[in-house]
Amino acid sequence: MDAQQERLRIGQRIREEREKRGLSQNELSELIGIGANNLSRIELGKFNIGADTLHKIAEALNLRLDFMPIG
């Protein structure tokens, strides 16, 4: 999987978890301190997300970042 595909996969998971919790992009972006337009780009896989921002998103969604086996 190349970097673009991985960004898209991560963005889709963020969107799924955000929607599962009933949060809008505006609400989540306010919780983590980034613009809603940047969150949208993250969810679309068009923004290279840093570890700090990814951690803030996971924390806001009550999730843990973890390394999981592929497959």
User: Whole-angstrom Cα distance, residue 55 to residue 62?
Assistant: 10
49 or 26: which leads in pLDDT: 26
Contact present, 49 and 18 (Cβ < 8 Å):
no
Here the CATH number for the domain that contains residue 50 is: 1.10.260.40
- Amino acid making up residue 55: H
pTM across the whole model: 0.91
Q: Is the pLDDT of residue 68 over 90?
A: no
Whether 69 maps to a domain, the answer reads no
Q: Is the pLDDT of residue 69 over 80?
A: no
Q: Is the pLDDT of residue 71 over 90?
A: no
Whether 65 maps to a domain, the answer reads no
* 43, 46, 48, 50: CA torsion to nearest 10: -20
Contact present, 25 and 43 (Cβ < 8 Å):
yes
Q: Domain limits at 7?
A: 3-60
